[in-house]
A and B are shown apart, each in its own frame.
Chain A
Amino acid sequence: MNANKMPSTNKPKNWFSALAHPGVFLGWSRHFIRPLIFLTLISFAIGLWFAFFNSPPDYQMGETVRIMYIHVPNAWLAQMVYSIMAISAIGSLVWRHPLADVAMKAAAPLGAAFTAIALFTGALWGRPTWGTYWEWDGRMTSTLVLFLMYLGLVALWNTFSDQSKGARIIAVFTLVGAINIPIIKFSVEWWNALHQPSIISTQGLSMPAEIYTPLLIMTLAFSLLFFTLHLVNMRAEIFRRRANTLERQHVIENAQASAANNGKGENK
């Protein structure tokens, strides 16, 4: 039997539980991977073409505005991925849903990678525009804290051999860390920061459509990349847990069989 076609014996009660049941999830999610890969590649191709060949330089930043097309999507994903982890943490703590644990664990390394890209490209964008790679202002410092939190959560997952027990503790840590998300979001308004405020506000967009269009397409492309990788990583985590369970079960069954054989031998 192929691992892709794992049977599920515990029948879910409603449609939501049905979709979120790990066994059923393995069934429906595999149909989404190829279309997601295709959409991601198309979005990146269009976005990069716009970013380099069909968008003007900014009147103040010049050509360095092109760094924004990778910096902003990754900064957005850094926060969105953590928000998804926080929602999954609630699912794990309140409903004790195994798929919520899986979603939380699978997202953490991806969030760390997107945050790393946001920090790296931000530093390289800051040097020609602000004259410095780094400034300890609210936005940059809170984003660095977010990156360290991601690394901490990835490390924490690896310390637990029993993932379901670990999930409860990690879910609490994840929810506590979620306080950092509004801090990142509003830091440019609360404190006198070097970082510019949000490009979307109640007054509308603060940039022309020729610059906003590639930014929007690149944000879509990176978001699709995240959803694709998250789906694949969630499936891998379910396979890993099932393989671990089977290995443990096999060891126990072998031990029971040898104990039974020894018992028979002694009785003779």
Chain B
Amino acid sequence: MIDLGPHAIFIISSYVGAFLVTAIMIAWVWTNSKNQQARLDDLQRMGIYRRSDKNTPDIAEETK
């Protein structure tokens, strides 16, 4: 590791603070995404679909 000089505490604190905020942001986005996806999958597993989807063939291929 390089010598960060007399102001090392400011440099390290900046990187640690930025890392923590970034890690919390990533964790929140990822958890929220998984939760919403699981919620929607659960509803569809229970047979609950949008009205517009009920009488149409599965056209999932077009959304791929």
**Which A residues are within 8 Å of any B CB, using their own CB?**
1-10, 23-24, 26-27, 52-53, 57, 62-64, 66-67, 70-71, 74, 109-110, 113, 116-117, 120-121, 124-125, 127-128, 225, 229, 232-233, 235-237, 239-240, 242-243, 245-247, 249-250
Interface of B is mostly: helix
| A245 in complex: contacting residue of B36, B50, B59, CB < 8 Å | B50
Please tell me if the beta carbons of A7 and B58 are within 8 angstroms of each other in the complex: yes
Q: How large is the interface on B (under 10, 10 to 19, 20 to 34, 35 or more residues)?
A: 35 or more
Known interface pairs A1-B58, A7-B63, A27-B63; A249-B4 also in contact (CB < 8 Å): no
Please tell me if the beta carbons of A242 and B51 are within 8 angstroms of each other in the complex: no
Please tell me if the beta carbons of A27 and B14 are within 8 angstroms of each other in the complex: no
CB distance from A89 to the nearest CB of B (A): 21
Q: Could you pull out 29 A-B pairs where Cβ atoms are within 8 angstroms?
A: A5-B64, A7-B56, A7-B62, A8-B62, A8-B63, A9-B53, A27-B64, A57-B5, A63-B11, A64-B10, A66-B11, A67-B14, A70-B15, A110-B25, A113-B22, A113-B24, A117-B17, A121-B14, A124-B13, A128-B10, A229-B29, A233-B33, A235-B37, A237-B36, A240-B39, A243-B39, A246-B43, A246-B48, A246-B50
The docked-state distance in angstroms from the alpha carbon of A229 to that of B24 is 12
Among A235, A240, A246: residue with most chain B CB under 10 A? A246
Closest residue on chain B to residue A127 by CB atoms: B10
Please tell me if the beta carbons of A243 and B43 are within 8 angstroms of each other in the complex: yes
Please tell me if the beta carbons of A233 and B32 are within 8 angstroms of each other in the complex: yes
Neighbouring B residues of A7 by C-beta, 8 Å: 53, 56, 58-60, 62-63
Neighbouring B residues of A1 by C-beta, 8 Å: 44, 49, 58, 60
Please tell me if the beta carbons of B2 and A249 are within 8 angstroms of each other in the complex: no
Neighbouring A residues of B41 by C-beta, 8 Å: 2-3
Neighbouring B residues of A3 by C-beta, 8 Å: 37, 40-41, 44
The docked-state distance in angstroms from the alpha carbon of A109 to that of B25 is 8
Please tell me if the beta carbons of A239 and B39 are within 8 angstroms of each other in the complex: yes
The docked-state distance in angstroms from the alpha carbon of A27 to that of B64 is 4
Please tell me if the beta carbons of A246 and B49 are within 8 angstroms of each other in the complex: yes
The docked-state distance in angstroms from the alpha carbon of A109 to that of B17 is 17
Please tell me if the beta carbons of B37 and A239 are within 8 angstroms of each other in the complex: yes
The docked-state distance in angstroms from the alpha carbon of A6 to that of B41 is 10
Render B8-24 as a binary contact track against A, CB cut-off 8 A, 1 for contact: 10110111011001101
CB distance from A136 to the nearest CB of B (A): 21
Known interface pairs A239-B39, A250-B48; A63-B4 also in contact (CB < 8 Å): yes
